Structures are given as structure tokens and as C-alpha cells.
């Protein structure tokens, strides 16, 4: 029996610094990867990729999140953040 899951793509809208950016992402893609690879935004850095260094820290609705540990679809699906995700992203690392 094959238990592997088939990756699926989903169209989401990321609102980054007040601008809505539609993007198609793999449902397994982290928010950090979506921002850097799909939108070309390099303000959040990829370093440890394990939630330890904080280099990927972004703001979502004014709260800090580690983008390397956040699935893009999970962040978008969390109700109120659907249109407000990643506000303040380009402020860079905020410890």
C-alpha cells in the first residue's frame, strides 16, 4: 500500500506590506519559501531552517512568527489573517 501523499497546489493571496500578491504554492511549502522563492522577497533570511535562529522572523498581524516553521496555507487559512498576512515583512529580523 502506498501511503505517500500527493503534493497539491493551491492559489493563495498574500498581503505583504499592504499589497495583495496572488501566488500558487505547494501545500507543503513554508511561508519563508513562498516569500523568497515565489514572491522574490529576500527580507526574511533562511539560516537554520529549524526555528532556532530567528533569521526568518516576520510579522503577521503585528505578531512575530518564524516563517521557516509556518506553512503558507496554514497561515492563510487561519481566518482573519487571510488578507492581512505578512504585514510588516520587510522590516526584517525583529528579535
Q: Which is nearer to ligand FES, 23 or 58 (CB)?
A: 58
Encoded one letter per residue, x for contact with ligand FES by CB under 6 A and - for no contact, window 32-71 reads --------------xxxx-xxxxxx---------x-x---
Q: Taking CB under 6 A as the rule, does residue 93 contact ligand FES?
A: no
Q: Taking CB under 6 A as the rule, does residue 92 contact ligand FES?
A: no
Q: Taking CB under 6 A as the rule, does residue 85 contact ligand FES?
A: no
What SS3 class is residue 34? helix
3-state helix vs strand vs coil in the chain, percent to 5 = 25, 25, 45
Give DSSP secondary structure letters for 20-33: EEEEEEETT-BHHH
What SS3 class is residue 46? coil
Q: Which is nearer to ligand FES, 6 or 41 (CB)?
A: 41
Please work out the total of residues on this chain that contact ligand FES, with binding judged by CB under 6 A.
12
Distance CA 33, CA 13 (A): 15
Amino acid at each position: 500500500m502506498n501511503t505517500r501523499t500527493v503534493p497539491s497546489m493551491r492559489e493563495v493571496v498574500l498581503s505583504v506590506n499592504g499589497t495583495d500578491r496572488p501566488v500558487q504554492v505547494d501545500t507543503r511549502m513554508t511561508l519563508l519559501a513562498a516569500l523568497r522563492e515565489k514572491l522574490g522577497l529576500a527580507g526574511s533570511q533562511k539560516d537554520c531552517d529549524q526555528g532556532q535562529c530567528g533569521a526568518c522572523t516576520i510579522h503577521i498581524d503585528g505578531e512575530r512568527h518564524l516563517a521557516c516553521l509556518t506553512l503558507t496555507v496554514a497561515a492563510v487559512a487561519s481566518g482573519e489573517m487571510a488578507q492581512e498576512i505578512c504585514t510588516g515583512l520587510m522590516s526584517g529580523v525583529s528579535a
